[in-house]
Each structure stands twice: as C-alpha cells, then as structure tokens.
Amino acid sequence: MSIFHSVVIKLQALDEGVYDFYPGQKVHSFFLNLISKSDPKMAKSLHDEKKEKPFTVSSFLGLNVDEPIHIRKHSFYFIRITMLNDEILDSMIASILEKNALRQELKIGNIPYKMIEIFFDKEYSKWAAHASAQELFLSSSSSNLIKLRFHTPTLFRSGDEHNRYPTPVKVFTSLLRKFNKFSEFKIEQQIEEQFNEISILEKKTTSKRVIFKDFYLEGFIGDVTFKVPDHNQRLLKIVNVLADFAFFAGVGYKTTMGLGQIERLPIE
C-alpha cells in the first residue's frame, strides 16, 4: 500500500552562520546524506533520478526564502521532508536509530546542527502527516471549490521555459503525473484532457525570487481558489484527491529543493 509521509525535523544549531543564498539545495544534500548512512544505493538512486522524485524537502520553515538567513547558535530550526513511499522513511529511520544520527553533528551547508526531535503527526506540527492513497480517495471532499496556498515559490518548466502562472492544467497535471508514478491506485491519464475545464475563481499571488548559488528562479506564492464544474463528478473527485495529495507531493519545478510547497485551505 502506498503511504505518503510528511515529517518535520527539529534541529538545534551548534554554531552561528549565514546562508547568503536559498538553502533548499543544502537541505536537499542533508537529506540525501542522511539516507546514505543506511542505504547508499538508495541515496544514489534518489539523486540520479531525472524525472519525478519520491521526496521533497523544505527550506527552514517559517523563514523568508528571498533574503539571507542568519542562524544563531543554540537556536532551534525546523525543516520538513516528504516521502512518497515507506522505503525512504524506513531508510531515514534506520539512519537515525541504527547509525546514531541523533548523537552526531549534522551539517546543512557549513553550519552544524544536532537533531532534537522528529514529528510525524499534525498533533505536533501542521506540516507533519501521513496518508495512504486509498485514504485520500476515501476522505477527500467533493467540493467544487479548492483553495491552495503556495507557501514557497512555484513555477513550471517546459524545456528551457519557465511558467510562473498557476494555471489549473499545469498545477493538476504536475500532481497527476506524480500520483500515478508513486501510488498503486492509478488515475486514468485521459482525465488530464479535462483539466482545462477547471477555472480560477480567485487569485491572490505575488512574484517571489529565490537566489541559488549559481542562478535564481522566480515563481509565485499566495492563494489560489480553483473551481471545478459541478456536472463532472469524476473530475470533481480526482481534483479533490490531487489537491489533498499536493501536501505531500509539492507542485512544479524543484520540489526536491523546497519550491512548490503547498497547503490546502478550507473554503470559508
């Protein structure tokens, strides 16, 4: 059974320092290094995969992504990792328990940290959760209005072009592709042709640029409310499932470095 996981890791900085550029790339390396402690072959496979990858990472939760981040010694920081299968979670847990990662100095970039706690459920962090594909189908609503909050810059890449607008087709095609790759429940690919029936009812977004070490990317952040036609019950169901899945999968380009982090909001 496909289980999707989102875990939050609480870290304590062992020294001070500054990330002059967006640290998502460094968190990405931190995660792969953690996996490699217990399963080097898996870490290499995750690194080398060219298409949809079964994980995402965040930057430091709650801190701005478009300005230098000043880390203070002994202060606590949080990062989030999502995993779209149990094998990756098992490998991460093995690193923490069997390889004593909790007792080791772990670096994100050049700054050392100590791992303090790991949160697996919403009871401890709104960014921590787990759900099976079957549970998403059973628990998803049938609302024709779907509100998504794009917490970190989101963009879509096609060849050498970057699309910085939250079109329904781009958003839900990105989610459909990932869902079908990592879930044992497959959604018929033809549904993609119906995504152009979805409209944007309300959009409150702004542009946001993130500076990587050797380049920058610009995407959008903010809230978007999508409207699905009432008469198309199958499309309604699938879009609701994908909207819930977005929490684990992220949307668009470079989700494995913290872009495209999504939260579904209730309709007021």
Q: Between 195 and 165, whose confidence is greater?
A: 195
Note the pLDDT of residue 38: 87
Name residue 207's beta-bridge partners: 220
Task: Using alpha carbons, select from 31, 11, 30, 14 the residue that is nearest to residue 116.
Answer: 11
Are both 11 and 38 inside the same structural domain?
Answer: yes
Angle in degrees, CA 191, 141, 129, rounded to 5 = 100
Give the integer Cα–Cα distance in Å for 101 and 82. Answer: 19
Note the pLDDT of residue 118: 92
Q: pLDDT tens for residues 227-268?
A: 999 889 999 999 999 999 999 999 999 999 999 999 999 987
Cβ burial, residue 231 (10 Å; 0-12/13-18/19+): exposed
Note the pLDDT of residue 101: 65
Are both 139 and 118 inside the same structural domain?
Answer: no
Q: Is the pLDDT of residue 100 over 80?
A: no
Confidence class for position 216, pLDDT limits 50, 70, 90: confident
Are both 259 and 145 inside the same structural domain?
Answer: yes
Three-state SS sequence of 43-84:
HHHHHHCCCCCCEEECCCCCCCCCCCEEECCCCEEEEEEEEC
Are both 162 and 206 inside the same structural domain?
Answer: yes
Which of 129, 148, 164 is the C-terminal boundary of a domain? 129
Q: Is the pLDDT of residue 158 over 80?
A: no
Are both 199 and 105 inside the same structural domain?
Answer: no
Are both 123 and 139 inside the same structural domain?
Answer: no
Q: Output the six-digit token pair for 135.
A: 């549970």
Strands 76-83 and 3-13: antiparallel
- Mean residue pLDDT of the chain comes to 92
Range of weakest confidence among 14-18, 35-39, 222-226:
35-39
Which of 72, 99, 129 is the C-terminal boundary of a domain? 129
Q: Read off the pLDDT of each residue in 97-108 and give the average, rounded to a whole number.
A: 77
- Percentage of the chain exceeding pLDDT 90: 75
Are both 120 and 7 inside the same structural domain?
Answer: yes
Are both 96 and 187 inside the same structural domain?
Answer: no
Note the pLDDT of residue 1: 67
Are both 24 and 120 inside the same structural domain?
Answer: yes
Q: Read off the pLDDT of each residue in 147-169 and give the average, rounded to a whole number.
A: 87
Q: pLDDT tens for residues 171-208?
A: 999 999 999 999 998 999 999 999 999 999 999 999 99
Are both 112 and 160 inside the same structural domain?
Answer: no
Q: Which domain holds residue 14?
A: 3-129
Entry pTM: 0.94
CA distances from 152 to 110, 181, 249, 257 (A): 23, 24, 13, 11
Q: Is the pLDDT of residue 6 over 80?
A: yes
Which of 89, 107, 129 is the C-terminal boundary of a domain? 129
Half-sphere exposure of 2 (CA within 13 A, CB side): 21
Total domains present in the chain: 2
- Indicate which CATH number applies to the domain containing 42: 3.30.70.1890
Three-state SS sequence of 200-215:
EEEEEEEEEEEECCCC
Q: Read off the pLDDT of each residue in 77-94 and give the average, rounded to a whole number.
A: 94
Q: pLDDT tens for residues 22-69?
A: 999 999 999 999 999 889 999 999 998 888 899 999 999 999 888 889
Task: Using alpha carbons, select from 105, 136, 85, 121 the residue that is nearest to residue 34.
Answer: 105
- Indicate which CATH number applies to the domain containing 217: 3.30.70.1900
Give the integer Cα–Cα distance in Å for 65 and 21. Answer: 9
Confidence class for position 13, pLDDT limits 50, 70, 90: very high
Are both 123 and 145 inside the same structural domain?
Answer: no
Are both 148 and 255 inside the same structural domain?
Answer: yes
